[in-house]
Structure formats: structure tokens, C-alpha cells
Structure 1
Amino acid sequence: MTRGRTDIDAEIAEAAIAWLVRLQGEAVTERDWLDFDAWMTASPDHAQAYDAVLAFDHQLYLDAGLAETQPEPAPLMTSGSAKVIPLRPARRAWFWSAGAAIAAAFVAGAVLVPSKGLMGGRETTYVTGVGERRTIALEDGSRIDMNSASRVTVRFERHARRIEMGDAQAFFDVAKDPSRPFLISAGDTQVRVVGTQFDVRHRDGLVAVNVQRGLVEVRPHLAADAAPFRLKPGQGLVHHEGQAADARLSTVAVDEVAGWRQGRLIYRDQPLSQIAGDMNRLFPRPVKLGDAEAANMRLSGVLIVDEQDAMVDRLSHLLPVRTTTTKDAIVIQAR
């Protein structure tokens, strides 16, 4: 097994251990998560120390599991024939009580952590067709609600839960697990959470993230040393792939995040080309835009998802367009 050393300040290592204990407690609060987020972003050394503590904790978990598979040692007998059974110390109880010693070991470079290349895991790809929605219940208690015509790949590893989004939109309800962050790749954008609810849309070279609950870290196509965006409930971020400086924050209504789950398509100054694309993922008969003027029209409003003809008719009342229905398509043009 290939492993690497890590040299970490003892005080930072102790703080990382304390955070892991605190976040795994049953009484953890939203304030704790906010404070943890502030601590993690205060210095790159904090994130390095926390990752090293996680790796060491997982190694103890593996060692404990191996010990439990070994045969019990023969009981010791006293003169009164009473059995004295050796007790295995609780792994985490020992780990946390030995925090100072472990921190010192980090500083000395004596703690070995598994290299990233050793991560294993099962990989599963989920796909929805045109007009199909699907809910995926993951083994960690998380849930993914997939919108129509979406492709999502899930891979659970020892230290992380990884999601790869192709052309897709999905709402994530992530179970809290500070020892395994939930990492999403959507084009050139990375999303990192521990436990929260949020929506990610990756369509046509555009990535949009909207948060309903918790904290969500979003890293668009940025320089390696650039700070990521950290979104709170009611915040969203939109980014065009390949454009490093275009990421912009916005305010969103919490109850409107992932409105598509309730059969509502909510648009805030969105082009008709995007709306037509959304409709083409809902219905087999394609909607086509007949001219550039129509494609560039923008809409702010709500479309109820029901019959395709009814939705197109509503568009003609919201925008200055006319529609022509043929056997093979619905064509929208500017009036």
C-alpha cells in the first residue's frame, strides 16, 4: 500500500480533531456548520489537517473492522474460576482522547495517510428519458431527484461521495457525513457539501446552482488558488463553462428552488431558446425556433407543466410570438 506523509502544525491538528468530533455529535447545529465553514476557509492548512484527520480516522475504522473478524482470545481464568474477558477499546473513544499525541505525530510527519489513488468504490449511472423523472435513494441516506433527459453517475469512495453530471438537472438532499464530503462535477464546475439541499442544472454549457438549505461550496472554472463561492439558502450561482470570470451570484426564493419538482418551470430573465430546450426534454414532439429574434426573447414568469400545446399557447400570451404546429414539430416565430 502506497502512503504519503503529512506535516501539520500540532494546534491545527488538534482543532481538526475537535471539529470532526463536534460534527459527528448528535447535537450538531446549523451554527456549528457555519463556524466549521469559516474555520475551513480561514487557511489552506486547516483543510489539509482536516483531510489528514479523516484519513487517519478511516484507517482506524478499517483496523477495528479487521480486529473484529479475528477469533476471540482465550479467556483468562482466576482462581475462583470467574472469566476475565479482555475488552477492545472503542476506536473513536481512544482516537479522541489521544488527540494531543496524534497531533504531535502529524507534526513529526509520523502519521501515514492513504494516497488518493487507493480510493475504491462502486459506480452506477442513472438516466432519465424525455418526459421522465426519477428519484434515486442512495445507500448513505441521500436522495437525488432527477429531471427529464438527465444522466448522473454516482461513485461512493472511502473518503468521498462523488457525482458526475452529464447533461442533467437534479435536486440533491444530502445526508450529513463530515467524514465523506459530497462532491459533484458538472462540466468545469465543482460543488462540495457535507449535508444540505440544493439544485444543480448542467445544460447547454451552462451550470446553475441554487441552495434551499445548508451551505454549498461552488468552484467554477477558477484559478487553483482562487477562493470558491459559498452559497447560503436563497442564493444561486450561474456560470458558463470555459469562462473564468463570468460566474455571478443571485438571490432566489427558497420555495422556488427546483420548482420543476412541483410541475412549475420558473424563469427569471431567461432566453426563449432555454425554454424551448426545457420543453424538448419534456415532450417527444420538438419545439423549434423559427428565427433569431424569437430565440433571443427573454421571459420572467412561471410555466405550469401540463399538455405541450397548452404550454406553447401560454408562451404566445407571455411573449410576442406566433406558433405553427406541423405533424413533426411546433415552430415558434417572432410576431
Structure 2
Amino acid sequence: MNNVSQFNSKETIQAKACEWIAAIDRGLSAEESAALQEWMAANPSHQKMLFEMARLWDDMSVMHALQGLVTYQPHKTPRRVNKWLAAAAVLAVSVTGALSWNMLSAIEPTETVASVTQESATEIGEQKTVLLADGSKVFLNTDTQIRVNFYPGFRQIELLKGEAHFDVAHDPARPFTVFAGENAVTAVGTAFNMEFTRDNAFELVVTEGKVRVSQQSVSDSTTTAERNRAPLPIELEGVMVFAGEQALVKESVSARTALTQSEIAQSLAWQDGQIVFTGQQLNKALDEISRYTQVKFVIDDDRIIDTRIAGYFRVGDINGLLAALENSFDIQSYQDAEQNIHLHRADSSI
């Protein structure tokens, strides 16, 4: 059974308003114009939401077109109809101080509507913290890219590649959803880490609070109108992941694993510029190290592939890594003309 949470009244109005804005943008037919007038007349909040959504639109011509459509009057009083039409005409040119506050609030939203779009990325070997408009913090690991879109009713972030830790500002009225591949993680106020692994799968570690994982995606080709069509739904059958738990997410959520405080600290050690290995095979360890450097590693000796690596290594400290491999694991190295680093056992004839 695939149950989806129902939008509340405000969200339903917002979704319909977005559909009307998209229709205004392409041009209304006579029938659509009449239907829009009827919809606006049905409830004063309908018109208010239309203006809110128009403010988020990329093209200001939509706002001008909408202002020209404001011809209805919810109260059947001739005097107030004249005031309404006069206010609409004035607004089409400029809003002046002669309008009363009550008159202005009937035309414009009473709250300032903020639509924030930003993109942030790091190069290979670079890390940085990004402060979002809502007060949330995102710590980007090496070779990571995110895209942020904030709307009145929801906060949307896309993890396009790499790894990021999200410290979410508490705002129950605006769900915070991070899309990665074909899945999404939604939180209200919490902290969690997401890392792309392979084939659009990502590893999730929740460090505070709880999150809901659901199967959702945001296509690069999705238009602003489609993204505004409705707030992001949270599937009732999504999987809850709690603080101290780890899960691999792809088409479904793997069995959740409870982590110790030490294990959580190790998984987040990259935020302190460290990589921690606790018995990983050499090739896996080198894959992780390669995320932070342009240097390529080549294993020339099959006998060292299964070598288990343990220890703390500084991000980008290749010399320190090679010294540790030689001193602790009897693995030597040399660099070829293309700057690739070759690894082999000390007693190898290579």
C-alpha cells in the first residue's frame, strides 16, 4: 500500500496557485481566465497565494499579467468594488502611500516571501562550510556539489555528488529535504551525514534527531513551475532512521546499523581533516584516500591487496601515508613519469 500524506489546506491552495501561475506564464484562454476569476473569488487567500507564487517566478511579466487580472470583488458592495479596481490599477504602476494598509494587504502578501537559490561546490581536496539562508549549516567534503532551493513551504537541497553533513535549523513548518539519486531524506531539525557511494546509492549516518527516507527524485530538467506545484510530499511508508544509526540507501533502505559514539566520530573524522581506517583492505583504503587528491595509486604486487590498514591519516598527506605504509606494513612505493604512485612489497623484484 503506497500511502502519501495529504497536504493541508494552505498547501493545497499553494499547489493550485502554482498551476495557475504556470498557466498565466504560457497564456490563458478565455475559459481559463473565467475559471481563474472564479477561483480567486472563492476565497481571499487564493489571491494572496497567487501573488506569493508570482513573486517566486523568474519572469516579472507574470506578476504584471496577474495584476491585470485582479478584477473580482469578494464583497458585493459597489463602493468597495471601486476601491479594489483603483488599488489594482495603482499597483500596476506603483504602490503609493495613499493606499490604506488593509487595502494593500488584500493585494500583496502580508509576509515577505523569500526564494533562495544557491549552488556550492568543493574541488578535489577542498572542504568548506556553507551557511544557508535559514541558518542551517552544510559542511561539504572533497569533490562535493549541492544545489539549494528554498520556497515558502519547504526547503529543497540536492546532493549532486560527494559527501556533506547537514546541521538543520529547526523549522517544523518548512520540511528540509535532501535529494540524492532516486531517494530523499527529510528532516525538520536534526543533523545527518550523506555520502554518495556508487550507482546513485548513498550512505546515511544520523547524528542528531531522526529523519525519514523516501523514494523521491528531482530531475535536472524539472522546471520551476513543476517544483513549485506542491510542497515536497513525505511518504508515510518511508523508513525512519534515528540518531546513532547508519544505513545504505539506494532503491530501498538497508538494515539500519547502530553505531557507537566512537564509530560515529570515525565516520565524521573527515570534518577534522582526518581519514580513519579500522582494518579496511588496502585497495579500499586507497579508494578513500584518492577522493582527496589528484594522485593515482597503482598496486603492482597482488600480495599486498589484502593488507588490512588501520590508523589515522591526514587528508591530502600523501607523504605521511607512504611513510606509514612502509614503516608499518612493509609496503614500498615509487612514482612514475605520469606522477602515479606504484605500491609493492619491500621484497618484490619490481
What TM-score do you get using the length of structure 1 for normalisation?
0.59
Once residues 141 and 167 of structure 2 are traced to their aligned partners in structure 1, the CA distance between those partners, rounded to angstroms, is 14
The amino acid that maps onto 1:153 is R
| 1:52 aligns to 2:60 (yes or no) | no
Among all aligned residue pairs of Structure 1 and Structure 2, give the percentage whose two residues are the same amino acid. 21
Once residues 62 and 319 of structure 1 are traced to their aligned partners in structure 2, the CA distance between those partners, rounded to angstroms, is 71
Once residues 165 and 178 of structure 2 are traced to their aligned partners in structure 1, the CA distance between those partners, rounded to angstroms, is 12
* Secondary structure at the counterpart of residue 278 of structure 1: helix
| Structure 2 spans left out of the alignment, 5+ residues | 18-44, 53-86, 88-94, 106-113, 217-233
Give the counterpart of 1:329 among 311, 315, 340: 340
**Given the superposition, is the C-alpha separation of residues 293 and 218 from structure 1 closer, same or farther in structure 2, using an over 3 Å criterion?**
farther
Once residues 326 and 237 of structure 2 are traced to their aligned partners in structure 1, the CA distance between those partners, rounded to angstroms, is 44
Q: Could you say which structure has the larger radius of gyration?
A: 2
Q: Name the structure 2 match of 1:198.
A: 192
Q: How does 1:1-335 map to 2 (within 5 A)?
A: 44=3, 47-48=5-6, 51-52=7-8, 55=11, 63=48, 122-205=116-199, 206-219=201-214, 227-239=237-249, 241=250, 244=252, 246-253=254-261, 254-268=264-278, 270-290=280-300, 294=304, 297-305=307-315, 307-316=317-326, 321-327=331-337, 328-333=339-344
* Secondary structure at the counterpart of residue 331 of structure 1: strand
What TM-score do you get using the length of structure 2 for normalisation?
0.57
Q: Name the structure 1 match of 2:84.
A: none
**Given the superposition, is the C-alpha separation of residues 143 and 317 from structure 1 closer, same or farther in structure 2, using an over 3 Å criterion?**
same
**More contact order relative to length (CA 8 Å, sep ≥ 6):** 2
Number of equivalences: 247
CA contact (8 A) 2:247 2:254 kept: no
* Secondary structure at the counterpart of residue 172 of structure 1: strand
Once residues 274 and 55 of structure 1 are traced to their aligned partners in structure 2, the CA distance between those partners, rounded to angstroms, is 46
Residues 196-217 of structure 1: per-residue CA shift (max 9 Å, x gap): 1121111333411112211122
| Structure 1 spans left out of the alignment, 5+ residues | 1-42, 76-84, 89-119
Higher strand share: 1
Once residues 193 and 266 of structure 2 are traced to their aligned partners in structure 1, the CA distance between those partners, rounded to angstroms, is 10
